[in-house]
Structure 1
Amino acid sequence: MSEINPVEPPVVAAVPAAAPVVEAVHSEQLLSEVAALPALPGVYRYFDADGTVLYVGKAKNLKKRVTTYFQRDHGGTRIGHMVGKIARMQTTVVRSEAEALLLENNLIKTLHPKYNILFRDDKSYPYLKITALPAMPNVAAEPSAVTFPRVAYYRGAVEKKHRYFGPFPSAWAVKESIQLLQKVFRLRTCEDTVFNNRTRPCLLYQIKRCSGPCVNFVSPQDYAQDVLNAEKFLDGETQQVLKALELRMMAHADKLEFEQAAELRNQMSALSTVLHQQSVDNVSDKDVDILAVKVQGGRACVNLAMVRGGRHLGDRAYYPTHVEDAVFMSAVEVEGEEVAQAVEVQVLEAFIAQHYIDVAIPPALITSAPVGKALLDALSSQSGTKVTAVHNPREQRRVWLEMAQKNAGLQLARLLAEEGSQQARTRALVDALDLAPDDLDTLRIECFDISHTAGEATQASCVVFQQHKMQNSEYRRYKIEGITPGDDYAAMRQVLTRRYSKFGVQAEPAAEPLATVSGRMPDLVLVDGGKGQVSMAKSVFEALGLDLGLIVGVEKGEGRKVGLEELVFADGRTKATLARDSAALMLVAQIRDEAHRFAITGMRAQRAKVRVGGSKLEDIAGIGPKKRASLLQRFGGIRGVAAAGVDDIAKVDGISRELAEEIYRALR
């Protein structure tokens, strides 16, 4: 592929004889770039005057596709607003439409354009992990974790030496599968350190969920066979597993080894029960993804259900943003050979293209809307295996699709109900506090809370509510230092000063870099506390010359009961009490509780780091287990060591002056 320089158009594209009719808002340079585009496949990006990416698109014919945007009068539509903002353009020529599609969605995931359908990056999918089998199990050796593989829940980068099954749509699906493997094949799930230090079998052995390899209750060969059968089961080869178990059972019976035969019989019975519960009627579909899309009320939901090894593992819902723009953007595609797509098709194709960039794709997709051949070809070339999609399935596949469609509808209805409720809460709070935001959707609330344990590990939290929901990515924690332990007022003064000093009329340059906090003042500042905390916030705002009307304290009511909170104002207004069923009070309580949760989790993490920080000593060169134990015993723990001076540390047996200075520096 090649990048087209937007300033110096390539010679390959001649200017057409008839210049397109364009809107006068665009510069001559931009129009000349559009006119000079080649009739080749590629990807285009539109930018506004601030350099923000507006839209990323692909085209079989760059010249024809991009010219369409500038030829027509789009009026007051959303696409018209978007075209009116275009100040700059970049294009990349590629070899094929499939390449253009892959590049387009890579750019969408990287640049997050304002007018594209976007799916939020989710956490990585969980897997079921079975550690590697040894090449030749050593029968005579003591039992070790290496000899007996472990089955475990796993999330992260995979290692080639182990086997991974999945991905699974949720942690619950992985844990359910592990329980099945425990019931049928009795594989161990304990950590290697636990395994290597067992002297008697654990409770899982007693309830027949483990074969007791830690105490040699099963031979390495038999355990290895159970591991292989478990892997075949997860791969969907259930009938082969049953057949192999039956042959082993008959072989033991012929040798009059009836106890071993009975164990295998019980294993077959458990496996048959699992298969019956899973209702696996069609095991020809071993790995399939089922995708159903529902669009309603300007929002959309894509429900992804997974079948792995012939077993339905569950589903997960995804909610794209900018769906409303898809309707307008599709209208452009009517020109020439382009055909307008239904919104459902656009949402589904956008999900498939963006989702499977980072996730392995199964060979078969079952979809509620048709998927274009170009997309399937691109996915096939990327994965190295042929990918097919079925739009109108039959039999078991149809049952799976109907279930996914029903779940998509239910999840979308729940989302719309929640959003409607949150918007009602936002409006209720605006009315109750007589706020006047420019736009209800942009109302910004920041809430602060202080958390510590008897003055230890004091932290302040700042959570943000905007666009009718909590904005997790904008949460901030502040480590409070230089105050008297337990002084919540001083802690509140410090955090508010650090957060808002850059907005003061006579403030010094910002204490916090703009990249880490919002560039504008919130419409409301909530502090968790009553008159004392509000007075402290008031003094900070007065010193900075900020509006006192922004500060509201959330004071706990009589008996600290939920629903009896009162609102305390810094500008002299009378204390307000909202009704227990007030939507405004519900929103205030939601934000306050989130600030408290965020503060206390940060405080606990910091406290735990200090309390269990004894391992930091062993990271210091020259400190082994004995010296570490001596130091902790002498000073009563890692906190005591950290608080001690060099002279005190040097008095401990075995600690030289040089080593004491190294310890002092490392812990501070």
Structure 2
Amino acid sequence: MSDVDEATALKGAALIRDEVTRLPDRPGVYRMIGEDGEVLYVGKARSLKKRVSQYAQGRVHAQRIALMVDLTRTMVFVTTRTETDALLLEINLIKQLKPRFNVLLRDDKSFPEIVIRRDHDAPQLRKHRGAHSINGDYFGPFASAWAVNRTLNTLQKAFLLRSCSDSVYESRTRPCMLHQIRRCAAPCTGLVSLEDYRGLVDQAEAFLRGKSRSVMGTMAAEMQAASEELEFERAARLRDRIRALASIAQEQQINPETLDEADVFALHAEGGQACVQVFFFRAGQNWGNRAYFPRVDKSDEDPEVMAAFLGQFYEDKPIPKLVLVNVEPADRDLLCEAFALKAGRKVEINRPQKGEKRQLVQHALTNSREALGRKMAESSAQTKLLAGVCEAFGLEGQPERIEVYDNSHIMGTNAVGGMIVAGPDGFQKSQYRKFNIKGTELTPGDDYGMMKEVLRRRFARMVKDEEAGEAAPRPDLVLIDGGGGQLAAALEVMADLGVDDIAVVGVAKGPDRDAGLERFFMPGKAPFMLEPKSPVLYYLQRLRDEAHRFAIGAHRTRRTMDMKKNPLDEIDGVGPGRKRALLHAFGSARGVSRASVDDLAKVEGVNQPLAQRIFDSFRKT
């Protein structure tokens, strides 16, 4: 047998021992790979040779590590210049590859922020997610959409900044409703000069940077001066603005006095599960909190879990100057060095022992314990429900992934299909998908045809990914909103695609659409009902209602976008500049539609042929 064949035949500890003979005594990252190329584990090391050799010794290995070693069929190594570089690469690979045996941050949605745009004469205040691609000042993160919406609402009341888009701003000829309810100063119509408006913008920026007392003091002085000058209406407006700012402090449960900017992390592990509660403090204000439930093993030590969580959490997020924790992470100094390299400044990770900072960490820990307790109770109940679903539909095993489909449209227009996903951890909203119905041959309102298109697109993609050797989520159970006809349409598509091994069930509403009288349709069985007060029936109703809610929401969004389309956008030769000029001249698209050719031709940039084309476009039969 050749050396190559011998190395190929090796596996587990024997393969690792063979790899160690060729490894350098340098920093780097290693990947342990199992059958079919599955990445089992990603790790970093100060010395690849010393670290990897520990796996081959067979001593003090936890059962999980022993299993990982036994499953290893090949290894991949990358050397780096420093251990810090190895740590950064390890974090990136873990988030990208999601190895089975690593601690994994599962819920990793981006956080909303507030941005004050600086690319317009009248800066706009708005919510933002994602990359900082807009020229402006960014403030965040906020823990939830609710937290950022609440703050935006308050800032509008206090500083009267516009939130409208540039196209709406340019087309306004009179103040909008937000001005009427005192949430915008209406710079669009000149009710406030651009210089005074920028003063309001500067006040808002100062407030978001933590200078709230200074801003409120200035406003209080202005209110007093207005009152002394008998300008009682202006004084009342300033009073309302001060109250709006004060409401932020009143609504927050914790308001630190000695902390300007920090993130607070508290880890609580129990029964092989873990919760990390994260609180955000910016500008001396509490900007909300969020609970995370990373994938861990009962053999994982808290310092290792905290280190892995922090590394993955900040892989694509801005890092504050101070990170407070209840458990000191493994390799704390190395993490600080890596974070400083990313942030371009010093970053501290501290476990406070006394004072206000310790109180903040303890508060986060209390929230972490409570959140994990609720999660474990929900998981237990969820397991029982899924076992009931398995029994009700005669499935071979408890479903890990349930997909539910529904369509939404009005007389066939703006048709959208929705797919929601549920499993042992509840609704998996990151897996939800919407399908804009594209079939040109469908009869408006053809629900069967719409369902066929949605399922064909969903499962054709799954089949294509599986044939390419890629990991593709495959459901254990598919629920269709509808009766025998919908079920037959679904089964036809599944059979055509060769995925008829997936259980499909139709859920039909009862007479008069009464909840509790649903009938269930399965191939080869007569329609049946579940016990009216069965917990499993309630669970299935929740799944169906969530799919219905999601499909309707997607339909409304699409319909709203269509309604917002301006007829001028469809006319050849009318770009943003001419569109703006026409709207200024006639007030709205309806005003343009009523104008004569001669009046249209008087608008700057519109010649006689274009005026005729605009006139004709509004009179097509």
- For the aligned pair, the TM-score class normalised by the smaller chain equals 0.7 to 0.9
Classify 1:297/1:41 alpha carbon distance in 2 versus 1 (closer, same or farther; 3 Å). same
Contact 2:154 2:245 (8 Å CA) reproduced: no
- Mapped to 2, the partners of 1:540 and 1:204 lie a distance apart of 50
- Mapped to 2, the partners of 1:293 and 1:387 lie a distance apart of 20
Contact 1:185 1:267 (8 Å CA) reproduced: no
Contact 1:424 1:583 (8 Å CA) reproduced: no
1:647 corresponds in structure 2 to none
Classify 1:347/1:453 alpha carbon distance in 2 versus 1 (closer, same or farther; 3 Å). same
Classify 1:412/1:502 alpha carbon distance in 2 versus 1 (closer, same or farther; 3 Å). closer
Q: What amino acid is aligned across from residue 359 of structure 1 in structure 2?
A: K
2:513 corresponds in structure 1 to 560
Deviations 1:111-135 (A, max 9, x none): 21111111136333222222339xx
What is the DSSP-based 3-state SS (H/G/I as helix, E as strand, rest coil) of the residue aligned with 2:311?
Answer: helix
Cα displacement (A) at 1:314: 1.3
Classify 1:582/1:468 alpha carbon distance in 2 versus 1 (closer, same or farther; 3 Å). farther
Query: What pairs with 1:97-496 in structure 2 (closer than 5 Å)?
Result: 97-120=83-106, 122-132=108-118, 146=121, 148-159=122-133, 161-196=135-170, 204-205=178-179, 208-211=182-185, 213-214=187-188, 216-241=190-215, 259=231, 266=239, 270=243, 273=246, 277=250, 282-321=256-295, 323-324=296-297, 327-328=298-299, 342-343=301-302, 345-371=303-329, 372-437=332-397, 440=398, 442=400, 444-458=401-415, 460-461=417-418, 463-467=420-424, 469-470=426-427, 473=431, 475=433, 477=435, 479-492=438-451
Cα displacement (A) at 1:417: 2.3
- Mapped to 1, the partners of 2:160 and 2:33 lie a distance apart of 58
1:46 corresponds in structure 2 to 32
What is the DSSP-based 3-state SS (H/G/I as helix, E as strand, rest coil) of the residue aligned with 1:117?
Answer: coil
Q: What amino acid is aligned across from residue 482 of structure 2 in structure 1?
A: G
- Mapped to 2, the partners of 1:264 and 1:201 lie a distance apart of 18
Cα displacement (A) at 1:264: 10
1:584 corresponds in structure 2 to 536
Q: What amino acid is aligned across from residue 388 of structure 1 in structure 2?
A: E
Contact 1:489 1:533 (8 Å CA) reproduced: yes
- Mapped to 2, the partners of 1:151 and 1:212 lie a distance apart of 13
Contact 2:491 2:500 (8 Å CA) reproduced: no
Count of aligned residue pairs for this structure pair:
576
Per mean C-alpha deviation after superposition, the further-off stretch among 397-406 and 365-374 is: 397-406
- Mapped to 2, the partners of 1:538 and 1:387 lie a distance apart of 57
Contact 1:366 1:393 (8 Å CA) reproduced: no
What is the DSSP-based 3-state SS (H/G/I as helix, E as strand, rest coil) of the residue aligned with 1:346?
Answer: helix
- Mapped to 2, the partners of 1:249 and 1:498 lie a distance apart of 62
Q: What amino acid is aligned across from residue 545 of structure 2 in structure 1?
A: D
Cα displacement (A) at 1:110: 1.5
Classify 1:463/1:285 alpha carbon distance in 2 versus 1 (closer, same or farther; 3 Å). closer
- Mapped to 2, the partners of 1:499 and 1:127 lie a distance apart of 33
Contact 1:474 1:517 (8 Å CA) reproduced: no
Deviations 1:236-264 (A, max 9, x none): 234444565678789x69xx866499589
- Mapped to 2, the partners of 1:523 and 1:209 lie a distance apart of 50
Which blocks of at least 5 consecutive residues in structure 1 are unaligned? 1-6, 9-22, 134-144, 331-341, 504-509, 634-652, 661-668
Q: What amino acid is aligned across from residue 587 of structure 1 in structure 2?
A: Y
1:636 corresponds in structure 2 to none
Deviations 1:461-504 (A, max 9, x none): 5555455645553757364453444343455566667777999x
- Mapped to 2, the partners of 1:271 and 1:492 lie a distance apart of 49
Deviations 1:293-321 (A, max 9, x none): 12123221111111111111111122212
Which blocks of at least 5 consecutive residues in structure 2 are unaligned? 583-588, 594-611
Cα displacement (A) at 1:418: 2.2
- Mapped to 1, the partners of 2:454 and 2:144 lie a distance apart of 38
What is the DSSP-based 3-state SS (H/G/I as helix, E as strand, rest coil) of the residue aligned with 2:368?
Answer: helix
Classify 1:582/1:517 alpha carbon distance in 2 versus 1 (closer, same or farther; 3 Å). farther
1:36 corresponds in structure 2 to 22
Deviations 1:179-229 (A, max 9, x none): 443444444444445555556555555555445545555454444333323
Is 2:576 the partner of 1:618?
A: no
Query: What pairs with 1:508-587 in structure 2 (closer than 5 Å)?
Result: 523-536=476-489, 550-571=503-524, 573-587=525-539
Q: What amino acid is aligned across from residue 116 of structure 2 in structure 1?
A: I
Classify 1:108/1:619 alpha carbon distance in 2 versus 1 (closer, same or farther; 3 Å). farther
What is the DSSP-based 3-state SS (H/G/I as helix, E as strand, rest coil) of the residue aligned with 2:36?
Answer: coil
- Mapped to 2, the partners of 1:53 and 1:465 lie a distance apart of 25
Contact 1:499 1:512 (8 Å CA) reproduced: no
Classify 1:535/1:473 alpha carbon distance in 2 versus 1 (closer, same or farther; 3 Å). closer
Classify 1:301/1:491 alpha carbon distance in 2 versus 1 (closer, same or farther; 3 Å). same
Cα displacement (A) at 1:363: 0.8
User: How high is the TM-score relative to the length of structure 1?
Assistant: 0.73
Cα displacement (A) at 1:373: 1.8
Contact 1:366 1:401 (8 Å CA) reproduced: yes
% same residue? 36
Is 2:41 the partner of 1:83?
A: no
- Mapped to 1, the partners of 2:215 and 2:114 lie a distance apart of 19
Q: Highest Rg: 1 or 2?
A: 1
- Mapped to 2, the partners of 1:516 and 1:598 lie a distance apart of 31
- Mapped to 2, the partners of 1:392 and 1:489 lie a distance apart of 61
Deviations 1:521-556 (A, max 9, x none): 755443322233345556677888987994432222
Per mean C-alpha deviation after superposition, the further-off stretch among 409-418 and 306-315 is: 409-418
What is the DSSP-based 3-state SS (H/G/I as helix, E as strand, rest coil) of the residue aligned with 2:37?
Answer: coil
Contact 1:450 1:491 (8 Å CA) reproduced: yes
Query: What pairs with 1:13-24 in structure 2 (closer than 5 Å)?
Result: none
- Mapped to 1, the partners of 2:54 and 2:504 lie a distance apart of 51
Contact 1:459 1:480 (8 Å CA) reproduced: no
Q: What amino acid is aligned across from residue 271 of structure 2 in structure 1?
A: G
Cα displacement (A) at 1:365: 1.4
1:648 corresponds in structure 2 to none
- Mapped to 2, the partners of 1:546 and 1:513 lie a distance apart of 11
Deviations 1:77-132 (A, max 9, x none): 22211111111112222233222211211111122111111113633322222233
- Mapped to 1, the partners of 2:370 and 2:148 lie a distance apart of 24
Q: What amino acid is aligned across from residue 115 of structure 2 in structure 1?
A: K
Cα displacement (A) at 1:151: 2.6
Deviations 1:356-386 (A, max 9, x none): 1221111111111113222112212221221
Cα displacement (A) at 1:149: 3.1
What is the DSSP-based 3-state SS (H/G/I as helix, E as strand, rest coil) of the residue aligned with 1:567?
Answer: strand
Cα displacement (A) at 1:55: 0.6
Contact 2:141 2:287 (8 Å CA) reproduced: no
- Mapped to 2, the partners of 1:611 and 1:207 lie a distance apart of 25
- Mapped to 2, the partners of 1:557 and 1:530 lie a distance apart of 10
- Mapped to 2, the partners of 1:408 and 1:74 lie a distance apart of 31
- Picking from 61, 65, 68, the partner of 2:47 is 61
Classify 1:421/1:614 alpha carbon distance in 2 versus 1 (closer, same or farther; 3 Å). same
